[in-house]
Chains A and B, each alone.
Chain A
Amino acid sequence: MSVCRPARCLFSKPSRLPKSSSHHLRPFHTTPCRNARRRPQYPNIKAEDLNLTDKHASERYPAYKPDEEALLAKKYTASQLAAIKAAEATIDPRDLVTQGQERTDPWRMPYKDDLAQVDPILDHPEKIHKVPGNGKFRETTFYEQETAIEQIVNEQMAKLYPDGLPENPDEYDQADLDGAIDAATMQAYLDPRTSYISDSEEATRALADPRYSVIMPELPRIDSRAVRATVTSEQQEEVDPRMTQLLLQLGWPKERVNAIRTKTLVAHNVTNQTRMGKIRSMYYLTIAGNMNGLLGVGEGKSTEPEEAMRKARILAIRNMKPIPRYEGRTIYGEVEGRVGSVRVQLSSRPPGFGLRVQSLIFEMARAAGIQDLAARVPVSRNKMNTVKAVWQALINQKLPEDIARARGKKLVDVRKVYYGRSAN
């Protein structure tokens, strides 16, 4: 205290210290910090307090006037009217004002309240389940077929040229016209009306009507010669005798075998030294899986690369074995596989982890339908043996049910019980 300070300072009350804020922060910058929550200069007034929402609601969604009710009563029955009123009473118009929005997205319904109209695309397409007329069909004679084709071609041409055929066509128009006639003739051959006919005209027309269900048992199947010819020309492929044998062994339909995912993971040259000289051949290692719990590994070797590849593929499909998967997405716990000096450690991971594994194991996991997996190949990383070791490890998983049975324990998967999941 300096001498020059007046003495009344000493006797006066000490000034109040600044109030410490609730959270005391030491400022490290020059900007003045705002301690408390900033309050506006003027008090906030909510729209609710001013009764604005009520006003808007009553303006936008007014109650029915007596004359409006009379109009409604003309269109709806008393019970329908009661239902409409009850439905409208459940929705507070104030909610509609504050939260209600009209949809502007391209997928909005084209109608707001008229549910009597059926949109053929958004709603279920219309189906008719009764064949009109007597519902009896017979195969067409040659003359009837010709007439039907002529009629259908005319129909198709009318669709393609709604304004009539062009008069005095030039070269381009003529080419277009020829193409259109070809297309219309093709359509005519594919049309069931060329193959079948009924005594009643209605029934014959029903054959081409798309509203009739395709699986309708009364309508005959398309069995025209033209259709048969196109189908057989697509199916003509070279037939591998081993493939037919494989199909026989598996007992699966061909589509199912074709849907199997196969991939060649290892390919290298092999040389055999004989007294005649070196014989070079190709070696392929292929995996096959149905992406849903089946995985196989096949090896093929031949002087012809094509032949070796095909051999490997067929062997891989034949060697497919079931792979136990926990919840259909990962493996059971940690498994180890050993082939030669390659050791592979696979471990299960939680949902959404993904396949964080090296490329070979990634391909195998995809083919087997495993989605969450981690793997380590610690020492030796020979590609061929890695693939084989992973396959061994995946096949030789120990299932918790088996372990529980062996130890005489009772086992319950708490995840399945808690979430009510279906067992996989």
Chain B
Amino acid sequence: MSLVNLAHVCSHLQNASRARLGLTSIPVSKLHVALMLGLQKEGFLSSVALGGPSPPKPFLLQDSIADPTPKHKISDEPWRVFPEPDEVDEKALLESWAKATNSPIPTPTKATTTRSMEESYEESVPENPARRRLWLGLKYWNNEPVLSKMKLVSKPTRRIWLNSDDIGAIVRGRDAGYVKGISKPGECLFVTTDRGILEARECAEKRIGGMMLVRVV
């Protein structure tokens, strides 16, 4: 568990947020993955994906690769731009239309897209673990980054472990064991425990102690 690398990750995420990047990557380690999943759960990150040196394909492009829809088709049938209604509904609609106009039931053209992420796209993760990267989607709201500050609480040379009582005090906004309380709105503190990396509030709820990792605002 290298806190040096974690410190690099903290600075990198702050820099990336300030530069208003949409997607960034960090080196992969078990600690990083667990912490980033925690951040995603708290809503700081939009996506966490394992990948290679090049970024994973954006979600929106994946469909078009799996099922390229010719452009002229959209110009002919512009309603294809909108999501298709359920097949059953469409059938019932066509029947009712035929009844009303006394015309034969028109055969509906098969829907062109069926969105299914698992079928349409597979990200290739390099065999060599050293070449793997963890790709993170950053979030912005009202022209401000959602993740603006991320700082280590334990340092590589001075790790801080706290028991559940101290974590409870910190969650309530009081200082405990050389750690400042959670006082800013929306502040999160991540703690590594024997049950994985948890947010400090979860730890207080479950009465678990652990090592302080990072403070995120």
Say yes or no: B186 contacts A403, CB within 8 Å: yes
Count residues of B near A (Cβ-Cβ below 8 Å): 13
A384 to B42, CA, bound (A): 40
Interface 0/1 of B175-186, CB less than 8 Å to A? 000000001111
A347: which B residues are within 8 A, CB to CB?
Answer: 183
Tell me the minimal C-beta distance from A408 to chain B in angstroms: 5
Tell me the minimal C-beta distance from A207 to chain B in angstroms: 61
Residue of A399, A404, A408 with most chain B CB atoms under a 10 A cut-off: A408
A404 to B184, CA, bound (A): 14
Say yes or no: A403 contacts B185, CB within 8 Å: yes
A334: which B residues are within 8 A, CB to CB?
Answer: 183-184
Say yes or no: B141 contacts A402, CB within 8 Å: yes
Say yes or no: A407 contacts B185, CB within 8 Å: no
Say if the beta carbon of A400 comes within 8 Å of chain B.
yes
Tell me the minimal C-beta distance from A160 to chain B in angstroms: 67
Say yes or no: B142 contacts A407, CB within 8 Å: no
Say yes or no: B43 contacts A407, CB within 8 Å: yes
Contact A408-B43, Cβ < 8 Å, known A402-B141, A402-B142? yes
Interface 0/1 of A400-424, CB less than 8 Å to B? 1011111111000000000000000
Count residues of A near B (Cβ-Cβ below 8 Å): 17
Residue of B43, B139, B185, B187 with most chain A CB atoms under a 10 A cut-off: B185
B144: which A residues are within 8 A, CB to CB?
Answer: 406
Say if the beta carbon of A398 comes within 8 Å of chain B.
yes
A408 to B146, CA, bound (A): 10
Contact A407-B183, Cβ < 8 Å, known A402-B141, A402-B142? no
Say if the beta carbon of A351 comes within 8 Å of chain B.
no
Say if the beta carbon of A333 comes within 8 Å of chain B.
yes
Say yes or no: A333 contacts B43, CB within 8 Å: no
Interface 0/1 of B147-187, CB less than 8 Å to A? 00000000000000000000000000000000000011111
Docked complex: A295-339 residues within 8 A CB-CB of B: 332-335
Say if the beta carbon of B44 comes within 8 Å of chain A.
yes
Name the one of B43, B142, B183 contacting A409, with C-beta atoms under 8 angstroms.
B43
Say yes or no: B43 contacts A398, CB within 8 Å: no
A404 to B42, CA, bound (A): 10
A408 to B183, CA, bound (A): 21
Say yes or no: B184 contacts A407, CB within 8 Å: no
Say yes or no: A406 contacts B141, CB within 8 Å: yes
A403: which B residues are within 8 A, CB to CB?
Answer: 185-186
A333: which B residues are within 8 A, CB to CB?
Answer: 183-185, 187
Docked complex: B36-51 residues within 8 A CB-CB of A: 42-44
A403 to B185, CA, bound (A): 8
A403 to B44, CA, bound (A): 10
Residue of A335, A347, A398, A409 with most chain B CB atoms under a 10 A cut-off: A398
A397: which B residues are within 8 A, CB to CB?
Answer: 185
B141: which A residues are within 8 A, CB to CB?
Answer: 402, 405-406
Tell me the minimal C-beta distance from A76 to chain B in angstroms: 63
Name which residue of chain B comes closest to A397, CB basis: B185
Interface 0/1 of B72-83, CB less than 8 Å to A? 000000000000
B146: which A residues are within 8 A, CB to CB?
Answer: 406-407
Tell me the minimal C-beta distance from A416 to chain B in angstroms: 16
A400 to B43, CA, bound (A): 14
Q: Can you name 12 A-B pairs with beta carbons within 8 Å?
A: A333-B185, A334-B183, A335-B184, A398-B186, A403-B185, A403-B186, A406-B43, A406-B146, A407-B42, A407-B44, A407-B186, A409-B42
Which A residues are within 8 Å of any B CB, using their own CB? Answer: 332-335, 347, 397-400, 402-409
Taking A334-B183, A399-B185 as known contacts, 16 extra A-B pairs with beta carbons closer than 8 A to each other, sorted by chain A number, are A332-B185, A333-B185, A335-B184, A347-B183, A400-B186, A402-B141, A404-B186, A406-B139, A406-B141, A406-B142, A406-B146, A407-B42, A407-B43, A407-B44, A407-B139, A407-B186
Q: Which 6 A-B pairs have the closest CB atoms?
A: A407-B43, A406-B141, A403-B186, A333-B185, A334-B183, A406-B146
Which B residues are within 8 Å of any A CB, using their own CB? Answer: 42-44, 139, 141-142, 144, 146, 183-187
